[in-house]
Amino acid sequence: VSLYLDKFSGLCQSVLHECKLTLLQIICDHGLFVEMPGRDPSDRNYLSSVLIQELFVTLDHEDLSLRAKAARILVVLLCKHEFDVRYQMTEDKLYIAQLYFPLVGQILIR
């Protein structure tokens, strides 16, 4: 995943950005593959961090279809975290809400 995404670093063309989002969508759709990022900075989950970064970039993009795709990816990920047995403790749910809340705000602003 890292090698694929690194090929597109620094490029913000719609077609290339669409490819990155499609890859992240496929990864998010694959069962419980995307774990919640750890609370400790040394315990960060690479895929979650990349996903959050790409969603922030996409939600600032002018292309409405890309923003809609990013919003759908976020909804699916939040649903998966909600029903994931690993994250049913109250503190886990609060952490997830704090982590993704800025992205929800980005969607609502646009």
pLDDT tens, position by position, 17-48: 788 888 888 877 775 555 666 666 556 566 77
Q: What is the pTM of this model?
A: 0.72
- Tell me what pLDDT residue 52 has: 79
- Tell me what pLDDT residue 45 has: 66
- Tell me what pLDDT residue 42 has: 57
CA dihedral of 19, 22, 24, 30, whole degrees rounded to 10: -150
77 exposed, middle or buried (CB, 10 Å; 0-12, 13-18, 19+)?
buried
User: Which of 67, 56, 51, 50 is CA-nearest to residue 14?
Assistant: 67
User: For the chain, which residues score pLDDT lower than 70?
Assistant: 7-12, 31-46, 109-110
- Tell me what pLDDT residue 32 has: 54
